Amino acid sequence: MSEAERADLLLQIYYYMRLTRAMEDRTRTLFLQGRIVGGVYTAQGHEATTVGAAMTLRDGDCIVPQHRDLGMHLVRGVSPRAVMCQWLARGNAPTLGRDGQLHIGDMHHGVVPMISMLGESLPVACGVALVMKMRRRSTVVLASCGDGATSTGAFHEALNFASVQRLPVVFLIENNGYAYSTPTAKQFAIEQLAQRALAYGMPGESVDGNDVLAVMEAVGRAVAHARSGQGPALVECRTFRVRGHSEADKADYVPPALRQEWLTRDPIKRFEEYLTAQGLLSAERRREIEARVRAVVDDAVAFAEASPPPDPATVADYVFAPDGPIAIVGEPGATDPRYVNALDTRTGRPFCTMSQVEEAVTQL
């Protein structure tokens, strides 16, 4: 990579970090104005982790994100307009106005929709990675979760399965110190969550999640490991959630001194200082990036507010089967009554086959 290419890459990273925070700041404002209904979950302080991790991926790779991973969505190409339509529950949003959270995906950009029960999406990531391996693709799945999710059974099952099957998965733990209000000291007895990788026979690394370049280096090593066919890897990013679990959470359980300590380690400010010291971020260039970010956010909000709300007549669409419950019968002539051999009696076609499962991932 030439010096000019490296400079462009670093400024692109800075842009995505600024865009992530600006999008979430505007979302919070809209929520406080009563224009967003429901909960709002932001990730101020996570920008280096989410953007840095996603920047290590290639076309064809995919992410299985959590609800604080807006930066990953943006890096992977999800439109800010789509994100804002989702927050404002518009009819043209990814969930067609049925959900106002970042519970979205875009398979064309390699973004698998998240599962609200955190940790449960990790086995899904293993399934996607298994299909990639079966199709002999040199692609990688990046699956993220918080520190609290590492205490769930799904987390451990996913790591064990991925290791046994040598799947191309990178497990990213965003350790922000709290599972809602429960501090890490009351969640686990080990010093670092990366140590859990050893029990499943995979490499694990703990890194400063507020240093975007350190995140890229660590996740980049894990991605290279998985892409080479050596199996999964785990990276723990130590970061901090500046705001509460949601905007309804005042986070009074966080000691003021601890919050202040992390504020001095703000990932965007740290990266700005680095870029300035490298001679890459002049005052003029910073203003240009700020203006670009502001224009993108303004455009996304204007587009969303001009978009129509969901049609009430479609409220049952994608929720209930149009012709009532689906009856399942064994495929004629089949001796194996497995679910994958079942038929949908409404259509006479297989209800679910392994080939259909594989085909579902072909868009990645």
> How much is the pLDDT for 359?
57
In the predicted model, residues of the chain with pLDDT beneath 50 are 325-329, 331, 339-341, 343-345, 351, 353-354, 357, 364
Domain with CATH 3.40.50.970 in the chain: 3-314
> How much is the pLDDT for 28?
94
Cα–Cα distance between 276 and 11 in angstroms, integer? Answer: 11
Cα–Cα distance between 46 and 70 in angstroms, integer? Answer: 10
Backbone torsion region of residue 87, taken as left when φ is above 0, otherwise alpha when ψ lies between -120 and 50, otherwise beta: alpha
> How much is the pLDDT for 38?
83
> How much is the pLDDT for 118?
85
Residue type for position 148: G
> How much is the pLDDT for 92?
94
Residue type for position 231: G
What's the pTM? 0.88
Burial code of 256-273, b = ≥16 C-beta within 10 A, e = fewer? eeeeeebeebbbbebbbe
Domain 3-314 fold is: Rossmann fold (3.40.50)
- Is 188 within 8 Å of 150 (Cβ atoms)? yes
Q: Within 10 Å of residue 189's Cβ, how many Cβ atoms?
A: 6
Give the tens place of pLDDT for each residue, 82-140: 999 999 999 999 999 988 888 899 989 999 998 888 889 999 999 999 999 999 999 99
